[in-house]
Structure 1
Amino acid sequence: MKIERLPPVKFSLQPNNHPYLNGAWTPLREEVTVDELDVIDGAIPADLDGVYLRNTENQVHQPLGRYHPFDGDGMIHLIDFKGGKASYRNRFVRTRGFEAEQEADGALWGGLADPAGLAKRPGYCAHGSLKDSSSTDIVVHAGRALSTFYQCGEGYRLNAETLEQEGIEGWTPIDGISAHPKVDEATGELMFFNYSKFAPYLHYGVVDRHNKLVTYIPIPTPGPRLPHDMAFTEHYSILNDLPVFWDEGLLKRNIHAVRMHDGTPSRFAIVPRHGRTEDVRWFEAAPTYVLHWLNAYEEGDEIILDGYFQENPTPEPKRDAPPGFEHMMAYLDQQAFRPKLHRWRFNLKDGTTREAHLDDRIMEFGMFNQRYAGRKYRYVYSTVTEPGWFLFTGFVKTDLETGESTEFHLPRGQYASETPFAPKPDATSEDDGYLISFIIDEAGGGSYCAILDAKRIEDGPICRIALPHKLCSGTHACWADRKFIREGALGAL
């Protein structure tokens, strides 16, 4: 493994005891390129031809305040598969905030857990006092990677095969782009939303396969809301107004305190993909919060939506957490907010909603074969976590037709990343392909890439590939076939 290291960035983070700046969340300082990675065991499938991209929160400077892991600087990790070989590179996302702090030799903004007045400069995004670190999500659209921030940042484009920085996405609206824009591989379109503290509070948009903004409309809500994700079907998009959002009274004092608004239902806005504000239909459902939706599709008069229903969206502080971290640790612990695989059915004919759990296990961060996005699908690949921590320790494959499931759990001290599905070029079934994940081996002090046969995840990795350094944990990832990347780039011309 021959490693090419880039010149180091300025790094001022000091030794500390923060639970999310150590262990599997220890920030990575270096950017590298490796043309050919070493295989630990097994063999890289010769039919894998594309890239796996993962976004991570990777703090560079000493925080001004308490630090929350979602504050960290964005770093994209890429592994490229072709001809039975793999290459790797990682790059910080050069956001405007990142560049400003590099110039200043230190942090300029506080974070999610800090008072708004801590920032040394005006902030970005829906919150208004944060840095746009573009560290939450990563998708591939129109032949380029797009990294986004959960609090509605500017959206940054990178070359999907080299991570060369291409700057701020030109069609970004004034209220930004939330994390979790959705790509319909069948049409090449990208659907997105944003939210803010200013009326009408929520917007929805569509960008076509040529990377042109073709739809952008308000979806008015009664006040500021905090949606995190959206979904789409073949003809509709689904947005949400959930009863977990900033306390209105405290927000007037510029205090961003999230609480459950008892007595307020969950609401879902269903709008034709290229519809207008007056076309929106609202449906009510049981109160909850949902971080991540899976997929949605049309079936007769109904729209079916799957996601992870939180049974306890605002958990009590963890008494066994390190002093000062009780609240943060609770909100990062899936065992505390208890997300369950759940299905909503919205009847377009009579306006009613039906809903129920599909599984009673605690799971989240689900993936599926993106060729079925917006269409009826069968298989879901969810993650399970280390109790008390935001760390993935295994995967559950669920058959939505039979209700059967299989599981794979990592050895103790190893932690996974989100596991996108990579279909085989000649796939004969929905689950004919691979799951790909970066694994942090905290016990061994390194990281590797794992490839699993999606048909038999219980067998564990069919191949493990050594990575050149130990990654810092993070949030979201995606897979893109090389053909999809190249055709998307041509379509954007």
Structure 2
Amino acid sequence: MAVSPFALHVNASANRHSVSPTFDHLTKSISPALKPIWKELQQQLPLKKIDVSNAVKKASGMVLDVLVDGLYRFVDQPYPPSQKNFAPVQEIGEAVEVACLEGELPADFPEGVFVRNGPNPQFGCLQTTVSPLGITNETWVEGEGMLHALLFKKTGDSDWSISYKNRYVESETFKLEKQRNKPAFIPAIEGDPLAISAALSLNQIRLDTGNKFLCNTSVFEHSGKLYAISENYLPHEVDSQTLETFGVWDFNGDWGRPCTSHPKKAPGSGELVIMGIDVKKPFLVVGVVSADGKELLHKVDVQLRKCVLSHEIAVSQRYNIIVDHPLSLDVSRLAKGGQLLKYDKEGMTRFGVMPRYGDANSVRWFEVETCCTLHILNTFEDGDEVVVRGCRAMTSILPGPDWGENKFDWYSRGFKLPPKKRENGNEEEGFLFHCVYEWRLNMETGEVQERNLSGTHTSMDFPFSNGNFIGLKNKFGFTQVVDSAASSSCGLAKYGGVAKLYFDEPQV
């Protein structure tokens, strides 16, 4: 089982007796409090063929479930009006035709399917648990993965059939909770420190993993196959037409850890460059998968000093580019009353540039102004420089506000534009403001040049580029946008909540 920031191992041990008790002896030795559970177990399993060790394991699991049901009260979290877009939707079953259309599809528009992924709580709402140990909350990133597909089929010279369907990504943890028909995992990311520690332990002992396999962040294609993925586990292969989940892709058993939500296809070779983080050494590993998806060609420990929540890896024609920013994960902080995730505003941000098949010693590190960059728009080589374009903020949106602070007030202040600072220099407002930013890393001199490309009145994140130009110099990019830009050093047009960037415009 792989370890990840949201799927933590908690080691537990028990004294094992060398004797194997007979079934009758085991029955007589059971505490009266467990008699009802044992009776149910006897009804479920044939007595003559019972495996005693499995029976004890199942009985223990049932006892722990009773304990959790007695100690923890699950409460639905409300959705304030400003957060209605996070509310879940229901699976609709078969595809339905989209009858209400505006505009026209271009004549050369290809047939195919557009698939997006996002968190969608299985039981209607995000959950909060209340217990004698404190409170824990599910966060907005923890809903189960749901795929939404638009299918485009040409029915004539200019006629189209467009249909929509959605479906959950059926990971093992999703199926486990669906079978129980109620939440099984105690939220274990946000909450009172003691309650989080207990949640991680109980989840691990009862359910074999500290948290759910979310599968809710993105989808990607490789070698003609479609995968749904999130940071805390491996990719799940899905059918692009039916959205059925086929199973986990573990790179033929050669990748024993989670995988980044945003792997990149290397330009030219078609190889897939992946990355996986962990809360224990090795903290960050980079891999290269063959173009046909059948072989893990390269795997290397980058030898970071700590675990960072490095969300995305980037590629150029010759290099892999890693982001090392001061957003770290440290399990030991839980025992000290801290949070698992921590963003250090005084910490160091740097980019690591390594040859495609390089090792830890081949990484060239470039220190830049402290910031948080979770999402990369594109990277490419320009002469001696490696150019990185991404969405940059002064503070990370994760882990969110300090425990006990009003999170909606914190988000509101964080996204106010333009940013305002206190007298001591710390951000009072606008600290979550994201701009499209460019770093030019000179591989010959080691120099770094930085600049804001999108101006001071537009917060932009979740960038996207044409996949055919990943790793190559490109003219256009797209991002989610909060407000219209007053000025920018690249051309910008706004379409509703999406901004289109023109990088071939004269630079100011």
- TM-score computed with the length of structure 2 as normaliser: 0.68
- Relative to 1, partners in 2 of residues 1:69 and 1:234: Cα closer, same or farther, differing over 3 Å? same
Partner residue of 2:270 out of 188, 193, 213: 188
Q: Aligned letter for 2:213? A: D
Aligned to 2:495: 408
2:257 maps to what in 1? Answer: 175
Cα distance in 2 for partners of 1:218, 1:331 equals: 39
Cα distance change on mapping 1:215 and 1:247 into 2, 3 Å: closer
Corresponding residue SS for 1:79? strand
3-state SS in 1 of match to 2:259 = coil
Identify the residue that residue 89 of structure 2 maps to in structure 1. 28
Residue of structure 2 equivalent to 1:99: 175
Question: In structure 1, what is the equivalent of residue 101 of structure 2?
Answer: 40
Instruction: Tell whether 2:417 aligns with 1:355.
Output: no
SS of the residue 2:116 aligns to: strand
* Alpha-carbon separation, structure 2, partners of 1:78 and 1:183: 22
Q: Alignment partner for residue 145 of structure 2, among 61, 71, 74?
A: 74
Q: How does 1:277-316 map to 2 (within 5 A)?
A: 277-313=360-396
Deviations 1:321-360 (A, max 9, x none): x985448746985854111111111111122222121122
What is the correspondence of 1:334-413 to structure 2 with a 5 Å cutoff?
335-360=430-455, 361-385=458-482, 403-409=490-496
1:79/1:28 CA distance change after superposition, 3 Å: same
Q: Does 1:146 align with 2:227?
A: yes
Task: Compare 183-192 and 91-100 and name the one that shifted more.
Answer: 183-192
Letter in 2 for 1:77: H
What's the CA shift string for 1:265-319, capped at 9, x where partnerless?
A: 2121111112223322212111111120110101111100000111233699889
* Paired AA for residue 480 in structure 2: T
- Contact 1:239–1:270 (8 Å) recurs in 2: yes
**Separation in 2 of the partners of 1:338 and 1:41?**
32
TM-score, length-normalised on structure 1?
Answer: 0.70
The aligned counterpart of 2:339 is 256
Aligned-partner residue type, residue 478 of structure 2: Y
Q: Distance in 2 between matches of 1:214 and 1:142?
A: 15
Query: Number of matched residues?
Result: 391
Q: Which of 265, 274, 286 is the matching residue for 2:357?
A: 274
Displacement of 1:176 after TM fit?
1.2
Distance 1:395 1:267, change over 3 A: same
For the structure 1 residues 316 and 14, does the alpha-carbon distance in structure 2 shift closer, same or farther, using more than 3 Å as the test?
A: closer
Q: Which amino acid aligns with 2:492?
A: S
What secondary structure is seen at the aligned counterpart in 1 of 2:179? helix
2: CA distance, partners of 1:139 / 1:371: 13
Change in 2 beyond 3 A, CA 1:264/1:231: same
C-alpha distance after superposition, 1:186-215 (max 9, x if no partner): 433221111111112001111122112111
Q: What is the letter of the counterpart of residue 299 of structure 1?
A: D
SS in 2 for 1:99: helix
What's the CA shift for 1:168? Answer: 0.3
Which one has the bigger helix percentage? 2
Aligned to 2:70: none
Q: Which amino acid aligns with 2:321?
A: I
Relative distance call for 1:331 and 1:68 in structure 2 (3 A) is farther
Task: Please give the secondary structure, in 2, of the residue aligned with 1:97.
Answer: helix
Give the gaps of 5 or more residues in structure 1. Answer: 1-12, 386-393, 411-415, 422-428, 432-493
Q: Distance in 2 between matches of 1:234 and 1:68?
A: 37
Aligned counterpart, 1:112: 189
Q: Paired residue for 1:129, among 210, 218, 221?
A: 210
- Note if contact 1:140-1:160 (Cα within 8 Å) is conserved in structure 2: no
Listed as ranges, the gaps of 5+ residues in structure 2 are 1-73, 130-135, 155-159, 417-429
1:315–1:337 contact (8 Å) kept in structure 2: no
* Shift, 1:263, TM fit: 3.9
**What's the counterpart of residue 16 of structure 2?**
none
Q: CA deviation at 1:224?
A: 1.6
Letter in 1 for 2:167: R
Kept in 1, the 8 Å contact 2:380–2:386? The answer is yes
State whether residues 315 and 331 of structure 1, in contact with CA within 8 Å, keep that contact through their aligned partners in structure 2: no
Deviation of the 1:374 alpha carbon = 0.5
Change (3 A) 1:36 1:94: same
The CA deviation string for residues 121-157 of structure 1, in whole angstroms up to 9 with x for no partner, is: 2199xxx73211111111111111111113x312111
1:315 and 1:336 in contact (8 A); partners too: no
Q: Distance in 2 between matches of 1:167 and 1:375?
A: 32
Query: Residue deviations 1:389-434, cap 9 Å, x none?
Result: xxxxx898x99xx722221226xxxxx8xx999xxxxxxx999xxx
1:69 aligned counterpart, secondary structure: coil
Question: RMSD value over aligned CA atoms?
Answer: 3.6
More relative contact order, 1 or 2 (CA 8 Å, 6+ apart): 1
Q: Is the 8 A contact 1:235 1:273 kept in 2?
A: yes
Q: Which has the higher strand share?
A: 1
Mapped to 2, the partners of 1:168 and 1:344 lie a distance apart of 36
Q: Shift of residue 22 of structure 1?
A: 6.2
Alpha-carbon distance in 2 for matches of 1:197, 1:316: 16
Establish whether residue 90 from structure 1 lines up as the match of residue 166 from structure 2.
Answer: yes
2:114 to 48, 52, 71: 52
Residue identity over aligned pairs, in percent, reads 22
* Residues 69-92 of structure 1: per-residue CA shift (max 9 Å, x gap): 101010011112232332222110
Please point out which of 166, 175, 182 is paired with 2:246. 166
State whether residues 322 and 352 of structure 2, in contact with CA within 8 Å, keep that contact through their aligned partners in structure 1.
Answer: yes
